[in-house]
Chain A
């Protein structure tokens, strides 16, 4: 009789542990998803500023077609990105394209003096910071989630129910190079 009770007790404890661990994994995974959707919000915000910017610059610098094309291409790549990896790539592409756009703008004093342009430039640089901040929050959540899925004994349950590692939203090689000073 006693043995039966002990076994029943152990099964109950095990089931309870299984349940709470599973639930905490779900919570962590949903946090990662929520954090990802926050990056998405910021990326959308950023891409929604682009058409306006392109129009403004076009008004002063019609001939810089290539620059506009690059920016537009990067923007649609960003809009169509489906996973962190693609989004990171497209985002970096857009950052690069915008950089050359702003470099071109330097050559047009009237454009540079335009209030509208200044405001757009400010907003775009702010959304860039916001993208970086939401990326940081996403990565913090991924770290939490990955730590939990990979540590024993939770890793057993994570494997059993298919809680796979999440991907960090990483800076690409190109972005890291920007730190170097160019002469």
Chain B
């Protein structure tokens, strides 16, 4: 990384790394899919058919969840819409950060939970929503809240819901194909003419076992990269890294569990709401959707005084 690590530098570096990971990821998926298709014993044409089918299945699932992302998550979390008149201060805080970022004002929701946390969702900036727990509104001061909201708005501006939906389609395709292959090994038997050459069957077996895990790890790496990016672009909105820094520390040191969060929605929050994960850090990090708070605070600290 460059010597001068401003918010601008961090934004470009995170965007560059996302592209890099996405290109490698696509190549990886294409490779795995090829090996699996050959393992099934299809020639080029038949292989494309299976792959196409897997793509369509996961595609439909994810496009539906992408399209309704806001309604589903807000519904699960029991979020209530916050109106302009009932809470002018919060509304204005969001509105002013939106002006700075050139975004339409999203719908603002509150979740009645005393644990401090927040998330953003919605398929594009016009259908975006951000949700804040009542705990975060009570426990953070205005600067900290500004940092959190800017982070969430950056997820919206960076189209992270779309990116993660695309990634989920790729991961889903790999998982589905691997699953089909393993099942066909178990129950296939008989029809030997239809099996691929021995070497591809072995390769495909290895791929079917390992690829879903690797794909998931890459998905998590992208998710962590987007968190760093949202932190950095958020700072470009507030021009005050200290606000988000102290917010992250406050949220992560808060002892209360967020009751409405579950494994399905945990990845969306600004800080992972499922507490009690302090295993061997560098290794455990690989399986997290978010970088550790220490790493994020360190990156934010580097931006101080440089914007």
Contact = CB atoms under 8 A, between A and B. Distances in A.
B96 A35 contact: no
A35 B99 CA distance: 10
Interface in A124-164: 126, 129-130, 133-134, 136-137, 140-141
A141 B102 CA distance: 10
Interface in A91-118: none
B101 interface: yes
A163 to B, nearest CB: 21
B96 A137 contact: no
B101 A137 contact: yes
Contacts of A137: 99-102
Contact of A136 (B92, B95, B100): B100
Interface in B91-142: 92, 95-97, 99-102
A179 to B, nearest CB: 14
Contacts of A136: 100, 237, 239
Interface in B153-175: none
Contacts of A42: 99
B87 to A, nearest CB: 14
A6 B101 CA distance: 46
Interface residues of A, number: 12
A72 interface: no
A42 B99 CA distance: 10
A134 B92 contact: no
Contact of A129 (B92, B101, B102): B92
Nearest to B239: A136
Contacts of B237: 136
A71 B173 CA distance: 65
B217 to A, nearest CB: 35
Contacts of A35: 102
A136 B239 CA distance: 10
A166 interface: no
A21 interface: no
Interface of B: 92, 95-97, 99-102, 236-237, 239
12 contacts: A38-B99, A38-B102, A42-B99, A129-B92, A129-B96, A130-B95, A130-B96, A133-B97, A133-B99, A137-B99, A137-B100, A137-B101
Given A133-B97, A137-B102, 20 more contacts: A38-B99, A38-B102, A42-B99, A126-B92, A126-B96, A129-B92, A129-B96, A130-B95, A130-B99, A133-B96, A133-B99, A134-B99, A134-B100, A136-B237, A136-B239, A137-B99, A137-B101, A140-B102, A140-B236, A141-B102
